[in-house]
A = this chain, B = another copy of it.
Amino acid sequence: MRRALDAQGSPIRRESFMAKSKRVGYAVIGLGHISQRAILPGFRHAKRSSLAALVSGDAKKAKLLAAQFGASHTYTYDALDACLRDPEVEAVYIATPNSSHVEFAVRAAEAGRHVLCEKPLAITHGECQQIIDACRKNHVKLMVAYRKYFEPAALALKKLVDSGRLGRLRIIHSAFTVTLPSGDSWHLKKALAGGGSLCDVGIYCINLVRWLTGMEPTEATAHAWTNDPVRFREVEDNISFQLKFPGGLFLQASSSFTAAKASFVQIHGEKGWAALDPAYAYNEERRFFGKVGGKWFERNFKIVDEFSLELDHLAACIRADRDPLPDGNAGLRDAMIMEAIYEATKQGRAVAIRTHEKFNSQPA
C-alpha cells in the first residue's frame, strides 16, 4: 500500500490516510550528536509524536538507530523524496548542519510535510524567509526547535517576568558555553554552520530574552575572540555581545566553544531579580532563584525531556491546525540579530537591527 503511494511521486495529503487523533509521525533528518543524544530519545517520552523514519547519509548507522529507537523506515539522502512521500511521515525534524536546513525544510514543505527545524533556522535571514515562504505556500506548520518555550523552569521565569513583579527590566546577563569535542566538526566550517558558538549556543541567549520580554533588540555590539586561531580560523570560538532593547533594557550575553559546559540567565528589574543557573543545556536540573519584593525564593526543577515536549507541541498544533510557537518568525528574527552581531564584531561599534515596532513596548 505504502509503496503504491510512493510511486505516485507527488505530495500526499495526510488527512487522506491518518486519523486526527493518531500520533504525528516524524522523519528525523540527520543522525548526528543531537539526534542520537536528544531527539531520538525524546520520542520515548512523547505522547503525540512517533518516530516514523530516519534519514542519514550513513545507511548502516540509520538502520542501527532505527532498531534502537523503533523507527519503521530508514532512507539515505538520495531517497529523501521517497521518505517525504512515506504516508507515515507527517512531519520532519531537521537536525542536519545548519547550511542544509533551507534545502530540507523547503523540500519537506513542498512535499506537504510539517517542519520542525533545529536552531538556527538557517544561516542567513534570506534563507529563513525562503523556509517561511515555502511552509506558508504549502500550508504546513513551521516550528524552530527552541526547547525553552516548553521547559518548566523557563516557563516559571517567563511567568514571573510577565507578572510584572520584577518591575521594568533593566539589565540581563546570559551565557551559554560548551566545549566542542576535539577533532573535526561541521561546527568549525563557516559554509556549513554559518558561524561559531553564537549560532550553536549563543542563540539561546538571544531567543530566550526575546521570548521572555516580548521585545525586539534595536542595536548590537559584539566582540569575538579565540586562543586557537588555527582551529577557529573560519568561525568564532568565544563571542560576547550586547543587545539594546527598547524601554531601557540591555542584554549582555556570551557563548564559547572552548569553555566548560555552563549556562545562566540573570534578570535585573526595578523591583526584583531572578536567575536560572544552569539555564540552557538539556538533561540538566535547573535552579530558579532570585529576590522579589525583598523576599528570597529558590525552586529546583528536575530534568524533563525538553525534546519530547517540543515534538508534542508541534504534533498538537498539527492536529488542532494551530500555529506553533516558536514559529518561523522567531528563527528569522534571531538570524537577523545574529547577522547584526557578526557585523558589529567587524565594525567595532553599534550596528542597528531592523525592528518591528509593534513588538517593542515595555509597560511605563
Contact = CB atoms under 8 A, between A and B. Distances in A.
Given A221-B221, A254-B252, A258-B270, A171 B177 contact: yes
B226 A223 contact: no
Nearest to A290: B262
Contact of A259 (B254, B273, B275): B273
B238 A260 contact: no
Interface string A250-288: 101110101111101010111111010100000000000
A259 B173 contact: no
Interface stretch (A50-58, A95-103, A110-118, A241-249): A241-249
Interface of A is mostly: strand
Given A244-B223, A252-B240, A268-B256, A171 B167 contact: no
Interface string A196-213: 000000000000000000
A300 to B, nearest CB: 11
A214 to B, nearest CB: 18
A291 B223 contact: no
A344 to B, nearest CB: 11
A157 interface: no
Interface string A293-328: 000000000000000000000000000000000000
Interface in A149-201: 166-168, 170-171, 173, 175, 177, 179
